[in-house]
Structure 1
Amino acid sequence: MPAVLRKIPFSVQILLGLLLGAVLGYVARAGDVAWLGTTLNTVGSLFVQLLKLAVPPLVFTAIVVSIVSLRGVANAARLALKTLMWFAITALIAVGVGIGLGVLTDPGRGVTLDIAGAQPPKKTGSWTDFLTGIIPTNPIGAFVENNVLQIVFLAVVAGAAALVVGAAAEPFVTLSKSVLEIVQKALWWVIRLAPLGTLGLIGHAVEAYGWDLLAPLATFTTAVYLGCAIVLFVVYPLVLVAAGRLNPLRFFAGAWPAIELAFVSRSSVGTMPVTQRVVERLGVPREYASFAVPFGATTKMDGCAAVYPALAAIFVAQVFNVPLRPLDYVLIAFVSVVGSAATAGLTGAIVMLTLTLSTLGLPLAGAGLLLAIDPILDMIRTATNVAGQALVPTVVAAREGILDRAAYDAAGRRGLDEPESGAAATPSREPVAATA
């Protein structure tokens, strides 16, 4: 990287890319400059494609290593249980925010869309598909098809087996650690291209989605952004203060590089190395962070699996004039908490939305009405996802007495830098003990 760029903070580089992309996107749309619009789309698509390229090996090796690393953590089962519990608690609060906003704003009232022409998306979800889709028929096929949910299943089984086997599994564990380091190193090179990727992604969004497309869905779009903002800047700070006795400003200062990268990349898994880096900088022990962050990146989705499907279900019900009963709102909450893994850390939340709609008996074609603006919504959803993925390990570590408070208070004072070899993948030898 040129020396001049190294002197500019990474967050500033992202912001400059965002602003320049918005300007170029406006020029491409207003001036009908086709080549510029195509160029912006190509740049943004290549950046996301590079992130997705690393997803299968990154998810598999990260989860295997994270499970094996738990043997160096005292009270590992307790930490894992507390992590899952806080995943569920914060998801339940987030879906409550989504339902509350949906009831208050009525996002589908008065919306005039071509319902007759609405078609279900190609990817749909049901409880049967979700449960049977977890187990692959062919382990190689899971990687070829980039089925993250199946890759997670294979990684959990392999990691648990390696943990039980012990010494005989060390060559496999060592190989997994080596592959993880290599993938993370390559991914960090891609992440350094984030300012350029931001320029292309935001520029294409501005060029492709004008007010004429957003106007009919303005209330819904505003509600999604407002709901995610409430979770990000109201719910999470309250959780930090009430549950962890932590300064929210320090948390956001430390976690912001991951949040902003998630906003532009729209990929929780692609952001995972940065998320783990900032979580460790916030004072969470590496052994615990290497478990909590990979699992969060594939299952903790407060934006995609809580706020968004709640609002979208209410929107679809109103557009199709289907009244929702109190039990339906309970079902929305249930699906959001239990079915989060259906989103699997990839861009978009269509599978989760169709899972919610099918559970409520709403037309799956309603999801097709929202496909046009999904990339715009996915940015704030993914930022919320990643913030939650950083929040829970921090809160759990604080409550269990294993958080480095001095590191937490110093978070955000240094820029984002690439971790040293092995820093994100190899746990230290000192065991981490969770307090009773």
Structure 2
Amino acid sequence: MEKKKKLSLPVQIFIALVLGIVVGLMFYFTGAAGFTTSYIKPFGDIFVNLLKFIVVPVVLLSMIDGIISMGDMKKVGAVGWKTILYFMVTTAVACVIGLVLATVFNNAGLFPNLSEAAQAAEYEAKEYAGFMATLVAIFPTNMWKAFTEANMLQVIVIALLFGGSILAAGEKSKLVRDMVTSAYAVVERLMEFIISLSPIGVFTYMTWVVATQGAEILGSLALVILCAYIGYILHAVLVYSVSAKAFAGISPVKFFKNASAAMIFAFTSTSSAATLPVSKECADALGAEDDISSFVLPLGATINMDGTAIYQCVA
């Protein structure tokens, strides 16, 4: 008997997204939005809590495991500065794209008028302490506090320090190396389980948002959303295509085909950290070296927020 082919996770998430909109509209028009807040949204909260719970272990262990796999801090340093430089450049390009598109849309009168709301709103920005103070804050004084507060930059610094120390200790660190590799394998399995719940999380949150805010949530800011998404598409097609061809020597078509699963999952889950395992699989399929991807992907999921940069500029 032939076994039925299971729907892929991105397809499941997309179906959950559509069903969430449909069910949410049903609750909205029947006046039962309160039910979604009390009995449907909590399941989405549980899913998000699980994602937040697993983020720190994934970033910490995957980066340490990646550093150990490289076997040489010189290689880590060479990969590190090139990666950060690339992230800075792509983020800068993303900001330019977002600002140009937002200016065009705004000058054309396509954005909704928020002047009254803007005048009524009050916000006091925190005083900028300066670059050096920001740099100092990256280095933790308490490792456990960095973990409990999920301070990702501090977690990355901790991973770099421990990874480098394990390499420096040589053969004496064999037990710790094995422990890190074993712990990361366990965390990967746990992450896969949490990710398998994504369709439930997407469905519950989408149902709640549409039920409580109605159809207008899908249309009132449509042009603002459209502006941002045009920016996302332009950035992905232009920047990623050029990068794939220039740095990896692969065709953009092959890149997008093999990376589509991670892109779809990131789009629907809106979580870079949650997409890490899927991204790792895509990187393997594209032929990336295991030690490089284990180091670069968590770093990118934490500090390389090109989509967020576009969104902030448009907003």
1:152 corresponds to: 156
* Ranges in structure 1 where 5+ consecutive residues have no aligned partner: 313-436
Q: Is the CA contact 1:73–1:288 (under 8 Å) kept in the aligned structure 2? A: no
**Taking structure 1 as reference, are residues 63 and 126 closer, same or farther at Cα in structure 2, changes over 3 Å only?**
farther
- Which structure has more RCO (C-alpha within 8 Å, separation ≥ 6)? 2
Q: Distance in 2 between matches of 1:132 and 1:121?
A: 24
Quote how far apart the aligned CAs of 1:302 are: 0.7
Quote how far apart the aligned CAs of 1:97 are: 0.7
Q: Distance in 2 between matches of 1:224 and 1:90?
A: 16
1:357 corresponds to: none
SS of alignment partner, residue 114 of structure 1: helix
SS of alignment partner, residue 269 of structure 1: coil
Q: Is the CA contact 1:111–1:217 (under 8 Å) kept in the aligned structure 2? A: no
1:433 corresponds to: none
1:112 corresponds to: 115
CA RMSD of aligned residues (A): 3.0
Quote how far apart the aligned CAs of 1:48 are: 1.4
**Taking structure 1 as reference, are residues 131 and 109 closer, same or farther at Cα in structure 2, changes over 3 Å only?**
farther
Q: Deviations over 1:114-167 (max 9, x none)?
A: 234424489997656643431223211111222222222211211122222222
**Taking structure 1 as reference, are residues 260 and 43 closer, same or farther at Cα in structure 2, changes over 3 Å only?**
farther
Q: 1:276 aligns with which of 274, 280, 286?
A: 280
**Taking structure 1 as reference, are residues 141 and 77 closer, same or farther at Cα in structure 2, changes over 3 Å only?**
closer
Q: Distance in 2 between matches of 1:63 and 1:164?
A: 16
Pair 1:291 & 2:295 matched = yes
**Taking structure 1 as reference, are residues 122 and 23 closer, same or farther at Cα in structure 2, changes over 3 Å only?**
farther
2:18 corresponds to: 19
Pair 1:223 & 2:227 matched = yes
Correspondence 1:285-364 to 2 at 5 A? 285-304=289-308, 306-312=309-315
SS of alignment partner, residue 240 of structure 2: helix
Q: Is the CA contact 2:265–2:275 (under 8 Å) kept in the aligned structure 1? A: yes
Identity of aligned residues (%): 28
1:89 corresponds to: 89
The TM-score with structure 1 as length reference comes to 0.63
Q: Distance in 2 between matches of 1:80 and 1:152?
A: 12
1:253 corresponds to: 257
* Ranges in structure 2 where 5+ consecutive residues have no aligned partner: none
2:101 corresponds to: 101
SS of alignment partner, residue 32 of structure 1: coil
**Taking structure 1 as reference, are residues 6 and 118 closer, same or farther at Cα in structure 2, changes over 3 Å only?**
farther
Quote how far apart the aligned CAs of 1:268 are: 1.0
Q: Distance in 2 between matches of 1:151 and 1:181?
A: 19
Q: Distance in 1 between matches of 2:48 and 2:214?
A: 22
Q: 1:185 aligns with which of 182, 186, 189?
A: 189
AA partner of residue 180 (structure 1): Y
Correspondence 1:196-207 to 2 at 5 A? 196-207=200-211
Q: Distance in 1 between matches of 2:203 and 2:3?
A: 19
Quote how far apart the aligned CAs of 1:248 are: 2.2
Q: Distance in 2 between matches of 1:46 and 1:125?
A: 35
**Taking structure 1 as reference, are residues 5 and 25 closer, same or farther at Cα in structure 2, changes over 3 Å only?**
farther
Q: Distance in 2 between matches of 1:121 and 1:45?
A: 29
AA partner of residue 10 (structure 1): L
**Taking structure 1 as reference, are residues 280 and 121 closer, same or farther at Cα in structure 2, changes over 3 Å only?**
farther
